[in-house]
Every structure is written in structure tokens, then in C-alpha cells.
Amino acid sequence: LPDSANAKLYKDKWILAAEAVRGNLTSRSGLSKGSRQSHLYMGKWSGPWYINEMSYEACFAAGNLLLGGRHFQRDDLVVLGQAILEGCRHVHHASPTGLGPEAFSWSPAPGQRSGTFDVKSDRQRAELEKYGYWVADPQYRLRPEYFESLFYAFRTTGQNRYRDWAWEAFTALEEHCRTEHGYAGVQDVTAEDVAQIDFTDSFWAAESLKYLYLIFDDVKAVTLDDWIFTTAGHLVRRGR
């Protein structure tokens, strides 16, 4: 809260972390025959090695940057969040099922920092050529991070394309994840014959469905001026 004793300290630390994400973790993918557009992804460091692999969970960073960037009037960080979210959307949209994998890798474009991982199999080589990335873990676990960031993107920018992206993902869920009594993840998002995982994590109902619902609900419902979402998607009313 702006009037709290530690407001400036937390603001400065958040901005420092956000700028470090941009300067140290992100890289753009190189072009491929099937993907003629470069996308921004977020890797990580392990000692001196830049790990050019992004997990599905890391898509939450886009929403964090969008919300914080808008709150602190840092348009450059809003743009960074939008770019990372566009990369997450590409991974969904390019997938044969319309679902994003648990983890994926990319080849950084010329002039970007060199990545540690490179393609090792014919399958990875074919995926890189077709999609501009290759799958490191092909599972889809009904995770909420992409939907969470789409929610923040729509609420902070008002751009309807984020609702469109959410609907794309939801229709893919309906087609591939719905079961007789609920929803299940899938074993391989690139497979033509989709096999489901006989398990549903609790975050599917607690977070994924909540964010999907709120993306299409009236924007006056659960406004970001009045409510704070915890990491697990719980609602906490803001103090005055």
C-alpha cells in the first residue's frame, strides 16, 4: 500500500528485480522455417551457464510485470510483460493441441546470449524448425500461470486480444482435457492421439478456472483496486 512504512523499499526492490529479469534472464528466439517471428522467453542461470529453457510456471512473470508496471507507471515493464506473455501464447498456439508444454527450449537469436541447451534428437530438430522451439517436457498439467497473466493483461490494458487468447486455450482444454467427471492433464501436447493423465491438481479449480472465469466476467467484479490475489489465487481485500 502506498502509505505503508515499507512502500518505497518494496517498490525499489520490485523494480530492481523486474529490470534484472529484462537484463539477465530474457532472450529472443531465432527464426525458423515454420516460425518467421522471434519471440521473447525467460530462461535462468546455473552458475556461468544460461539455461535456455522455460517452464510453464514461469509464464506467471508476465502478469507480475504487467500489474507492477501499471501500478508504478513503468510502461517499459508493461511492454516487457506483454512480450513474455506473447511468447507464452505462441507456445500454446503453435502446439498441435493448443496446449502449452510443461517446459520448452529455444535457440537464442544471433546477438543474444548463448544458450546451454541445443537440439539433440530428430524430434527436437523437427519441432525447432516447425515451431521455433522444442519441447523439453511434453506434459500439460492444467496449470494456472498462463491464465493468470492473461487475466492481469486484460484488466491492466483492456485489450480484447487477451480474452481471445484465453478463449483459444479454453476451447483446447474442452477438446483435450475434459473427462466424464472433470478435467485431466495430457501426457504429450504434441501427440495426435492425445492420452490424458489420470490426475487433477487442486490448483485447477482454485486458480486456473478462477482466472478463466474472471477474464470473461464484468471488469467491475473483483477489481484490482479493491482486491489482491495471493500466489495461490486467494482473494484478500485491500486495506484503505
Say whether 102 is catalytic.
yes
Band of the pLDDT at 4, cuts 50, 70, 90? confident
**Among the ranges given (116-130, 174-188, 226-240), the one the predictor scored with the smallest mean pLDDT:** 226-240
Q: What is the DSSP letter of 44?
A: E
Place of cell 503453435: 94
Q: Is the pLDDT at 1 greater than 70, yes or no?
A: no
* Active-site residue (options: 19, 57, 86, 102): 102
Q: Is the pLDDT at 147 greater than 70, yes or no?
A: yes
Query: What are the residues whose beta carbons fall under 8 Å from the beta carbon of 61, sequence distance 6 or more?
Result: 21, 42, 81, 84, 149
Band of the pLDDT at 34, cuts 50, 70, 90? confident
* pLDDT score recorded for residue 181: 92
Q: How far apart are CA 57 and CA 119, in angstroms?
A: 22
Helix (H, G, I), strand (E, B) or coil at 73: coil
CB of 91 closer than 8 Å to CB of 99? no
Write out the H or E segment, with its range, that includes residue 54: strand 53-55
Q: Is the pLDDT at 240 greater than 80, yes or no?
A: no
CB of 131 closer than 8 Å to CB of 94? yes
With DSSP H G I counted as helix, E B as strand and the rest as coil, what are the percentages for the chain, rounded to 5?
45, 15, 40
Band of the pLDDT at 26, cuts 50, 70, 90? very high
Band of the pLDDT at 39, cuts 50, 70, 90? very high
Q: Is the pLDDT at 3 greater than 90, yes or no?
A: no
